[in-house]
Amino acid sequence: MEIQISKIIRSRRRTIELQINSDSTLIVRAPLRVSEKYINKLVYKKRLWISKKQEFMRKQKQLIKQKEFVNGEDFWYLGNAYKLQVIDNSKLPLLPLSFESSSGVFLLSQNHLDKAKELFMLWYKEQARQKITERVNFYCSHADLKYNKIRITDAGSRWGSCGSKNGLNFNWRLIMAPPGVLDYVVVHEIAHITEKNHSKRFWLKVETIFPDYKIHRKWLKENKCQLLF
């Protein structure tokens, strides 16, 4: 069984991470001085696990329902599904896409249907930036942790990461998940500020900050295909 490595990303990290993307490709994140020979040996050793994960991601991709951007279609926001209304441009507020919290609907100008996906992504990214920044600051203050900066990314099914200099990266799709799930990912990444691995100490740190994390981690594993489009 031959496993193809799509990309090797080197940084000042201490451990090797095998990342299976939503398109089933394998990315290896490795310390700067680890040789390619060692990486290939590790990938070969983990080939059955990698193959199983890749097959899982292929099946998950089949479950993803492509958005059509039509009247009555559901769009997730903070764990709730809201209907889309495509309306005449003259009846729309200032923006081509808006969310009406009072009536619980998304309003999309019919004149901008060709850019609907892009408009939704931009809207989600802005909401994610505001909400995630708020939650990072809340939990860092609570746990007496300091981060470098926050970036909102488009990283497929990779929900977050913490760099060697404590820069925090978060997937914009998290804004579609329930608040507890978003909080779990936030806490997971800020815990890496002091623990750059997934050791017992790391998970103890997560549990200390966010005791119910296992419930929300389970939700994310079981429902992540709902957050992809």
Give the start-to-end residue ranges of the domains of the chain: 5-63, 74-114, 121-227
Quote the crossing angle between the two packed helices 179-191 and 116-143, to the nearest 10°.
60
Please tell me the least confidently modeled range out of 31-35, 57-61, 116-120, 174-178.
57-61
45-65: pLDDT as tens digits: 999 999 998 988 887 776 667
Q: Rounded to whole angstroms, what are the CA distances from 45 to 33, 37, 128, 194?
A: 20, 12, 38, 29
Do β-strands 160-162 and 168-171 pair in parallel, antiparallel, or remain unpaired?
A: antiparallel
Do β-strands 26-31 and 5-11 pair in parallel, antiparallel, or remain unpaired?
A: parallel
| C-beta separation of 171 from 155 below 8 A | yes
How much of the chain exceeds pLDDT 90, in percent?
Answer: 71
Instruction: Kindly tell me if the per-residue pLDDT of 1 is higher than 90.
Output: no
**CATH 3.30.1360.70 assigned to 121-227:** no
70-90: pLDDT as tens digits: 999 999 999 999 999 998 866
Retrieve residue 162's tokens. Answer: 């913490």
